[in-house]
Amino acid sequence: MTEEQADQLLFTYGTLRRPEVQLDTFGRLLDGHRDILEGHTIDYADLDDARETGTGEVSVHPILRATGNSADKVVGVVSAMTESELHAADDFECTLYRRVAVTLASGVGAWVYVR
């Protein structure tokens, strides 16, 4: 049996950057580096998410929105993960988000969750 390679890159800018969320979702802290996503901005959405608040109360979460304007930039962290971890991130995110491929300012391609 071969060990799964951490060959997927995920750009995170909000909740998935929190250590307690990473430990709960991936079973480890992600090791990443700062990068920038151009042509996007951050909006905020109210979510009733028991995973986050533990109470079923509404909490506010950042969500990326594509603007197409190169002056709009979002600073975040890009981290390598396995395919299984990427699917765990998919399970963590609610239906308000969808995962898309983007090219970051550094020139690397990564996945990111957007509106």
User: Residue 31: how many CA atoms within 13 Å on its side-chain side?
Assistant: 2
What is the pLDDT at residue 56? 53
Angle, nearest 10°, between helix axes 19-26 and 83-92? 120
Helix (H) or strand (E) holding 35: strand 32-38
User: What token pair was written down for 20?
Assistant: 């307690």
**pTM for the full model?**
0.85
In the chain, where the domains are located: 8-114
Average pLDDT of the segment spanning 20-46: 94
At residue 107 the predicted structure's pLDDT band, cuts being 50, 70 and 90, is: very high
At residue 94 the predicted structure's pLDDT band, cuts being 50, 70 and 90, is: confident
- The CATH fold of domain 8-114: Hypothetical upf0131 protein ytfp (3.10.490)
Q: State the Cα–Cα distance between residues 69 and 37, nearest whole angstrom.
A: 11
What is the pLDDT at residue 27? 96
User: Which residues touch 41 (CB under 8 Å, ≥6 apart)?
Assistant: 64, 65, 67, 72, 74
- Biggest alpha carbon distance in the chain? 47
**In angstroms, what CA-CA distances link 96 with 45, 106, 115?**
9, 27, 6
Q: State the Cα–Cα distance between residues 30 and 12, nearest whole angstrom.
A: 10
What is the pLDDT at residue 46? 77
Q: What is the mean pLDDT of the chain?
A: 88
Q: What is the pLDDT of residues 38-49, one digit of tens each?
A: 999 999 887 665
Region of poorest pLDDT, from 3-7, 21-25, 46-50, 64-68: 46-50
Q: What is the pLDDT of residues 58-79, one digit of tens each?
A: 578 888 999 999 999 999 999 9
At residue 13 the predicted structure's pLDDT band, cuts being 50, 70 and 90, is: very high
